[in-house]
Amino acid sequence: MPLLIKNARIITSTEDYAADVYCSGEAIDRIEKNIDPRSVGSAEVIDATGKYLFPGFIDPHVHVYLPFMGTYAKDTWDSASRAALVGGTTTLIEMICPGKNDEPRDAFNTWLAKAQGAASCDYTFHMGVTRFDPSAEKQFREIVQRGITSFKVFLAYKGALGVDDRELFHTLRLARELGVVVTAHCENETLVAELQSQLLAQGKTGPEWHEPSRPPRVEAEGVHHLMTFAELTGAEVYVVHTSCDEAVNEALRAVSRGVRAHIEVVLPHLILDKSFAEKPGFEGAKYVMSPPLRDRHQADRLWNHLRSRAVATVGTDHAPFDFESQKIMGKPPASDFTRIPNGIPSVENRVDLLYTHGVCTGRIDLHTFVDCASTRAARIFGLKGKGAIAVGADADLVVYDPHHRGRISAKTHQMATDYSAFEGWEIKGRASVVTVRGQVMARDGKFVGKPGAGRLVTRS
């Protein structure tokens, strides 16, 4: 049904103005002052008085189907996309993470099949490069032809997903030739492995030792390494989940040398700190992710880099594992923090917690909020029609109520995990209407759309 959104305060990454928005189909048709409902026939009229109208939010870093650390992430595309939509996110970019011996083409088809017909929001992928040889290269070329115009490499997870330097060099060279962006998890995997062994040998086995096994220098070294390779190949790179000032500064130094680099931070690093992973009784396992949660002062630095827009995007790195059946893998008798599946479920909470802890506290303004949570990801990753409110753009819209007050709980969330890392936390705002290409998909915390209506996004 056509939609007419009346009395909206439209906020984009650069503008703030009052207008009505009309869409008869999948795209925005009109943005004008006082559109008369009688002039548009039988549209559903949504009154946005006192609310913001934002472009649909984009999460550039999620894991949904993820075979990892001896288990599988808990969400399906059905649960993850409902969670995203209820939380105001209308497009997800998932990492395809093939095993080292898997064929890239098979991995792409597997990941696509999991999303197709099950995703209720729109989606695309970063193609994981976990092996680079002539046969893999041929397949990467085909995958890029099919519209997947970004790669993902891991300079971490030794022996599992990580690439060696020769593979990194050739991946970046291919990316440069094809004009695709390479996203990268940057931690020096050898240092991580050695520090892990050292700590375990000293009997330091609990979740609180995860952070000391991957300190800021280890991450900064990873970023420095990537930047050297990017500089010498001319590839455009995007550092995912940058958790500390040391790592951000390595990327910024490279930018000043002319490297085309973008910096992503993820929600957990902005609002949590390492004291959560130090909670007693193995509770800390809920907060084990990589790079790890850092010392409190690091979050302040990340907010500053976000405010100055040195940091381009805020994603989640949504990687959902249950506490009772999965995080527990590192508990006695194993007693080994390196066996705790890494990741924090958060795709549902990103927009509300970024608004609550970023906009409501004055750390970032509304335009930066829209830019880092939507518009910039659309630009960097070539998501046509996304991240904007403009005539002709996709009608992916979020009517946002800044007066809503609520609390997060695993009892009410849409994500499939048995816990929330933000249990009981207050949110000061919520999406009251969420549309994807003109269809209403969520209202006031509830999924109301057609399941499986999401589409693979066309990318340039």
Residues within the interface to Zn ion (CB under 5 A): 185, 317
79 binds, among ligand URP, Zn ion, none (CB under 5 to 8 A by kind): none
Measured N-to-C along each axis, helices 216-233 and 245-256 cross at an angle, to the nearest 10 degrees, of 20
User: Which 42-101 residues touch ligand URP, going by CB under 6 A?
Assistant: 63
**Is residue 108 within 8 Å of residue 125, measured between CB atoms?**
yes
343 binds, among ligand URP, Zn ion, none (CB under 5 to 8 A by kind): ligand URP
Q: Based on CB atoms, which residue is closest to ligand URP, 162 or 449?
A: 162
Q: Based on CB atoms, which residue is closest to ligand URP, 55 or 284?
A: 284
Cβ-proximal residue to ligand URP, closest one? 342
Q: Does 317 bind ligand URP (CB under 6 A)?
A: yes
Give the integer Cα–Cα distance in Å for 262 and 149: 15
* 271 Rama sector, left if φ>0, alpha if ψ -120 to 50, beta otherwise: alpha
Q: How far is the CB of 19 from ligand URP (least distance, A)?
A: 39
Token representation of residue 365: 């303004």
Q: Based on CB atoms, which residue is closest to ligand URP, 9 or 331?
A: 331
Q: Based on CB atoms, which residue is closest to ligand URP, 56 or 345?
A: 345
| Per-residue DSSP letter, 296 | H
In 129-260, the DSSP E strands lie at 150-155, 181-186, 237-239
Q: How far is the CB of 320 from Zn ion (least distance, A)?
A: 11
Q: Does 171 bind ligand URP (CB under 6 A)?
A: no
φ, ψ for residue 225, nearest 5 deg: -60, -50
Q: Does 220 bind ligand URP (CB under 6 A)?
A: no
Question: How crowded is residue 62: how many other Cβ atoms within 10 Å of its Cβ?
Answer: 28
Q: How far is the CB of 61 from Zn ion (least distance, A)?
A: 6
**Is residue 48 within 8 Å of residue 8, measured between CB atoms?**
yes
| Per-residue DSSP letter, 418 | S
Q: How far is the CB of 60 from ligand URP (least distance, A)?
A: 12
Q: Does 247 bind ligand URP (CB under 6 A)?
A: no
User: Which 261-300 residues touch ligand URP, going by CB under 6 A?
Assistant: 289-290
Q: Based on CB atoms, which residue is closest to Zn ion, 152 or 170?
A: 152
Sign of the CA dihedral running 278, 280, 281, 283:
negative
Give the integer Cα–Cα distance in Å for 282 and 271: 21
Q: Based on CB atoms, which residue is closest to ligand URP, 151 or 369?
A: 151
User: Which 321-350 residues touch ligand URP, going by CB under 6 A?
Assistant: 342-343
Q: How far is the CB of 145 from Zn ion (least distance, A)?
A: 25
- The CB-side HSE value for 323 (13 A sphere, CA atoms) comes to 15
H/E run at residue 408: none
342 binds, among Zn ion, ligand URP, none (CB under 5 to 8 A by kind): ligand URP
Give the integer Cα–Cα distance in Å for 369 and 313: 9
Q: Does 115 bind ligand URP (CB under 6 A)?
A: no
Residues forming the site for ligand URP (CB under 6 A)? 63, 185, 289-290, 317, 319, 342-343
